[in-house]
Chains A and B, each alone.
Chain A
């Protein structure tokens, strides 16, 4: 499989990465090189094989459903580029 220019633009939008028209052909070439490389997986017989979900066999650990941390709003917003009090600031989202 390979991607065309329209697919490159669609993927870029899904990934929320701005791509200029000039970058599209180059990216298309690189993505197609990677897709060509992974194409060899199609020759593997995977019939009846379970997809891996956990590389080490382990029971999913569960925690008590209790509050065990908190009161660190200052820490959480400390590195934000724009804040007001304990809120993150973004451009208007809801009209």
Chain B
């Protein structure tokens, strides 16, 4: 039998249905792979007993013909999702040993559909980071290395554990979240597929909040089809999240293989940055050529406020974070550091519990919301956000169906290589992805090639609100043309 971990989710579904193997066998194969890959630090908590119990239960259901759409499929869960009875920390010391007494809506839908939980995945602390280096559990290794090099690279972030685990064949898919690029950038760094759906498509209930007007969950998987299967189970209306939309969830998988003939693809000229590596420029043209060959129509478009998206994001996101993270007070849950009075208790707890990046963002957020600065910073940033969204609306109004861009301005880099002296250096990683969060649109990152050092690079497709289906159709064209990429095992 071939190694069960190398199957795609779609292939495993077939094998389970045909009873070629059981979910327990599939789950055990992944648990063994996780154990052998601890050096990657992708999992912060392994739940083998729970995984085997879930697999046995679902095997019985499959035998009776009652398996759901994800019956028996082993998944990893980003540690930002509350899982009942299983420690959930957002990879922050401040949550300590927090064990939720409830389950996030998204994970409960995955279990409803028969998926099996292998464990909790590493991420940047409170999803604040682009390299998975701010986690209190330490950095995650990227299964990809430069040709002929032993240097461990970052898997991107904040969903670094999710991307690394999926790329290293430790799980068949993973949940992730994206506030400024945290699904798409790690997907691009690891040759996996990541989709951030439209704001409101997935419930945020039970996900540790970072910036509520930007946060949206989505899957990371090894193929476009796999990501479509996962999104179908994750999406849907939830009365517990007032920003979740009450719209039917399409069968996203049906969009795979659909003709893209006549679809109008915008190529935004503002994404052609000075000093952009020639390899990324080339990959972008190649992607456009593949879509053209499949019958899509290419048109140059302009998104004039692109360069202001990142600075506006670094006002809006920290502002919302400073408000959301006010709840970590050392009283209701998590870490507590004593003080002589209640204020000292708060201040000592938060100084001890939050890492440097989180403290920095809370402080910036507090500053831009403080009396006398609110109009100059926060209100102005929200106006710029309106303009960024209008850029996209103008494009779509001209008949553009989707926009093609590079996913990241570079391939993966080494641990500790970026952002040491100036935090802004790290922030620039999200330059192509952050506009999408600011405008609430769906965006997918699909592996499209490798750079000269053998590292994966991805392309991003941005769609109209709630038109994830077109992104899956177009993503499939890129996947068919570029092929799929698997790292050579070194761990």
Contacts and interface: CB of A to CB of B under 8 A. Distances in A.
Interface string A23-43: 000010011011101111110
B427 to A, nearest CB: 8
Given A18-B347, A55-B389, A88 B383 contact: no
Contacts of A8: 363
A91 B163 CA distance: 43
Contacts of B348: 18
The 7 A-B residue pairs whose C-beta atoms are closest, nearest first, are A55-B440, A51-B382, A81-B336, A79-B333, A18-B351, A18-B347, A75-B101
Interface of A: 1, 3, 7-8, 11-19, 27, 30-31, 33-35, 37-42, 44, 46, 49-56, 58, 60-61, 63, 72, 75, 78-82, 88, 90-93
A48 to B, nearest CB: 9
Interface string B73-101: 00000000000000000000000001101
B367 A31 contact: yes
Contacts of A39: 311
A30 B308 CA distance: 20
A80 B363 CA distance: 25
16 contacts: A15-B362, A16-B326, A17-B350, A17-B362, A18-B348, A27-B360, A33-B423, A37-B427, A38-B311, A41-B384, A44-B380, A46-B380, A49-B383, A52-B382, A56-B245, A81-B333
A92 B341 CA distance: 7
Which one of A13, A40, A56 has the greatest number of beta carbons of chain B within 10 Å? A56
B385 interface: yes
A1 B360 contact: no
Contact of A14 (B98, B242, B366): B366
A49 B430 CA distance: 25
Interface in B311-335: 311-312, 314-315, 322, 326, 329-335
A37 B440 contact: no
B259 interface: no
Contact of B363 (A12, A38, A53, A75): A12
Nearest to B101: A75
A87 to B, nearest CB: 11
B350 A15 contact: yes
A44 B304 CA distance: 11
A46 B387 CA distance: 8
B420 to A, nearest CB: 11
Contact of B370 (A14, A35, A52, A60): A14
Nearest to B322: A15
Given A16-B346, A52-B386, A55-B440, A33 B422 contact: yes
B43 interface: no
A16 B61 CA distance: 51
B376 interface: yes
A27 B361 CA distance: 11
Nearest to A34: B364
Contacts of B359: 17
A16 B101 contact: no
Nearest to A92: B341
B343 A16 contact: yes
A51 to B, nearest CB: 4
Contacts, number: 161
Interface of B is mostly: helix
A91 B363 CA distance: 25
Nearest to A43: B308
Contacts of B341: 91-93
B213 interface: yes
B386 A51 contact: yes
Contact of B424 (A3, A33, A51): A33
A41 B331 contact: no
B379 interface: yes
B386 A90 contact: no
Which one of B305, B335, B354, B424 has the greatest number of beta carbons of chain A within 10 Å? B424
A85 to B, nearest CB: 15
Contact of A19 (B351, B385, B389): B351
B484 interface: no
B423 A34 contact: yes
B340 interface: yes
B340 A49 contact: no
A42 B330 CA distance: 38
B109 interface: no
A44 B384 contact: yes
B340 A60 contact: no
Contacts of B339: 91
B70 interface: no
Contacts of B322: 15
A90 B351 contact: no
Nearest to B370: A14
B98 to A, nearest CB: 5
A41 B200 contact: no
Contacts of A41: 308, 311-312, 315, 380-381, 384
Given A18-B348, A37-B424, A11 B370 contact: yes
A5 to B, nearest CB: 13
A31 B364 contact: yes
B345 A91 contact: yes
Contacts of B346: 16
B243 interface: yes
B199 interface: yes
